[in-house]
Every structure is written in C-alpha cells, then in structure tokens.
Structure 1
Amino acid sequence: MAPKINPKANSGNTSDETLFGLIANDLEKQGYSIRPGALPQDISNALYSYQQDLNSSKYANAGIGRGENFLKTEFVRTDEISWITGESDAGRKWLDWTSKLQHFLNQKLFLGLFSFESHYAHYSPGAYYKRHYDAFRGEANRILSIVTYLNPGWGQADGGELVLYRDDQDRDGIKVVPLYGTVVVFLSEEFPHEVLPSTRDRYSIAGWFRVNTSINNNIDPPR
C-alpha cells in the first residue's frame, strides 16, 4: 500500500523541494518514482568524477544478505560495489542531499525513515543483477530504495536497463534506461526488480532508507 501524504507538511520553493514533492506524490500515487536527469548536476558531476577515479581495490564483489548471512553468488549478481562513507566531498554532497530527501519524505509521508546506506555500483559489460526484492515483506528494515545513474552518453543499444516489476505476476515490467542523473525511488518491499546486462561499463549509486531496528546496542545496519 502506498503511503499517505501529510497535507500539513511544509512545502518549499527551492528546486530540491520541488523535486522532493514530485517524488512524494509519485510514491503516494503508485509506490515508485522515475525522474530522468533529476539529480542536481553539481552532485552528479562530483559523484561521476569520484567514481571514475576509484581504484579497483576500493571495490568488493557484491553479494546478497547482510551481516553473518552475507553470501557472494554469481548466480544472482555479478556487479561490484564500494560503500559511501562521506569521507569524500562527493560522498558528503550525496549524503547531504539524501538527508534532505529523507527529512522531506518523513514530513510528507510519515515513513519514519531513520538511517540511510548507499554504495557505488559498477557493472562491467555483461554483468547483471537478477530479479529480487530489496527487502522481505514484514521485516521492517529497508523501507525505501533509491538509485541514480552516472553514465554520460548512454544509448538504447547499450542495454543495462533497470526493470521495475509491479508485483510477482508482472513479467513485462517498467524499463528504466540508466541515463546520467536519473533518479528512481521505490518502496523496497513492494517492487521486485532486476538489472539487465549492458554492453559497456555501467555506473550507478544504490541506496536504502531504513527504519530504526537497533536492539540492545546491536547497531543496524551492519557493514
């Protein structure tokens, strides 16, 4: 079920808040938002430059699961990732922007978003991430997923689309071309999705807004 909008939440006049309002309305209406070229250009450019300079040693092969249940498996995914910690200027700009989005959506949609985690993702030619959910229903961990793309000059023939499925029965899905600066936000428990193979290197950032599930000083999420 899509979240309900708080009509009393403050609405601003800045370009960020205009975008955040559109995302909130999309989430309330359909549970997902696809906004081509929406990430502010200074943030896109900073993230792109930083990711292009990332040494291969900074990447780790991605896997599934978390903490002690983490498992690397090429059957499901073959991308590589590097967590964003805020140590770089680019990372700080991204985390500041997503923090503003988190605050806005909490005011508008009563989501109770408490924390945020995100990473750079690199898909080499032919790499993929098969159909999956970002969160299991009822576990109350990842509430909202966000993806943005850092691929200048991407064409239809390059492939690498994100396919967002409306439910388990959907076999067609909504294909999102990973164009530079496009922002995709969706309810983590509601939409299975996959990343199709591309013919060139594909760069993106994936992140998740979470509720607070820390118990007895066991901080969640683990790295």
Structure 2
Amino acid sequence: MSVVLTEDMAIDPVSDTALFESIANHLADTGYSIHPNALPAGLLHSLHEHLHSMPEYYFKRAGIGRDDNLMLNQFVRKDEVCWINGDSRAGREWLDWAGQLQQYLNRRLFLGLFSFESHFAHYSPGDFYKTHKDAFKGQSNRVVSLVVYLNPDWNKEDQGELVIYQDESNEELIRVTPGFGTIVAFLSEDFPHEVLPANRDRYSIAGWFRVNGSDTQRVDPPR
C-alpha cells in the first residue's frame, strides 16, 4: 500500500541540524527520506524568486545519459533543465546548503560523498519522466538523490506527484505531492521512480551527491 505525502501534512520547520539528522537516519533505515515544507524559508524564497527571474532560454530540453551518450528521448522524459553553477546568489546559497548536508551525511553515514551537482527542472502541463533510476548503468557514482520542490499553493488536483517504487517490483512505495519546500532524498541506485504529468507548470531542483569515479581515462565529476 502506498503512502501519499502532501504539503498540508507539514510540521513546523526544524533546524538544519535536526533536519540533516532525520535525513541521515531515514537513509540508513529505509533508504529514503521525505520532509514537507522543510527547506529553510529564506533559501526557499530566494530560489523561487531567482527561478522566476531567469530568461526562458536558460532552460534546455533534458536528455538521457551523460557526455557522449546523452540523447533526447521525449517518450521517456519531457522536462527542461537549467544547471546550477553558483553564478547567482541563490545558486551559491543552495550549493552551500547542499554542501553542509553532504558533510553531515559523510560524518554520520561514512558515504564518501565527493561532489554535488544539481539543476532546476521545469515540467510544463502534461510533461512527465517515466520510471527510471538516477545511477547510470556502469557508473555507480551517484549515491544520494536530492529533490526540492518550488511550487507554492500546490493542490492535490494539480497532480504531478513523484512516485517512488520498491526495488524492481514496480510496487508503489510512496507518492509525494510537489508542495513548496518539500525535500526528498533517497539512495540513487535503489529506487526506481517517476514524475507524473501535472495540470500546471511544475518546478523543482534535482541534485545528486556523488562519489569520486575518476580514473586514468576521465575526470569525475565531468566538466
């Protein structure tokens, strides 16, 4: 039986330390962690304001794979993305916050997380991302996936939920409404998941904590 988490189930925001501890505990116990209305308010509103001040051409159609294997496949995903590189104040604040979470997870869970990459994602009405895993085949360097939603006043009727499945069984584990400030973290290799179509524009940040996969043939993370 699946569980649906919505914004109206949120509790009062907690400190970063308490939030990071909760995420670490959940990752260790179940492999996933979901916190409605949990991103610090100042950071949340800074990201939201920056997102809606960016020109539309900053967003590019998302692809499947990486580097030379990158390809567009609109049967699998139809979202647009804009990578976060720290050029903006909001971007720097986000990367700093994610860096603090990375350090905390390394101290608590000894994950050896080496770097973090993330992008804004925009799903127009009807867009989707079919069931997939975040760790690329043959490149198990994405360890923890992190999602934050940037959608004020999201209603159940707007749909667009994130659905996380249990292993490879396609059994629905949990369904998350993309409400404002909701944080989702899960082990990248363990959970197939998908984004369902929404009835309005849907915005989020998707990010991945990675281990160092550098070798004599390539530098990781890719530039």
CA distance in 2, matches of 1:136, 1:198: 26
What's the CA shift for 1:214?
Answer: 1.5
CA distance in 1, matches of 2:149, 2:176: 10
CA distance in 2, matches of 1:104, 1:115: 13
CA distance in 2, matches of 1:87, 1:69: 27
**TM-score, normalised relative to structure 1:** 0.91
Consecutive unaligned residues of structure 1, counting only runs of 5 or more, are 1-13
CA distance in 2, matches of 1:83, 1:139: 20
Tell whether the 8 Å contact from 2:65 to 2:136 is kept in structure 1 after alignment. no
Amino acid at match of 1:100: Q
* Alignment: residue pair count: 210
- Partner residue of 2:29? 29
What's the CA shift for 1:137?
Answer: 6.6
- Partner residue of 2:183? 183
Tell whether the 8 Å contact from 2:164 to 2:173 is kept in structure 1 after alignment. yes
- Partner residue of 1:105? 105
Amino acid at match of 1:53: S
SS for the counterpart of 1:82 is: strand
Consecutive unaligned residues of structure 2, counting only runs of 5 or more, are 1-13
Structure 1 stretch displaced more, 171-180 or 186-195: 171-180
**TM-score, normalised relative to structure 2:** 0.91
Output one character per residue of 1:82-119: Cα deviation in whole Å (capped at 9) or x when no partner.
00000100000100000000000000001000000000
- Partner residue of 1:204? 204
Amino acid at match of 1:19: L
Tell whether the 8 Å contact from 1:24 to 1:108 is kept in structure 2 after alignment. yes
CA distance in 2, matches of 1:190, 1:84: 25
Tell whether the 8 Å contact from 1:113 to 1:210 is kept in structure 2 after alignment. yes
Amino acid at match of 2:200: R
- Partner residue of 1:116? 116
What's the CA shift for 1:136?
Answer: 4.3
Tell whether the 8 Å contact from 1:137 to 1:189 is kept in structure 2 after alignment. no
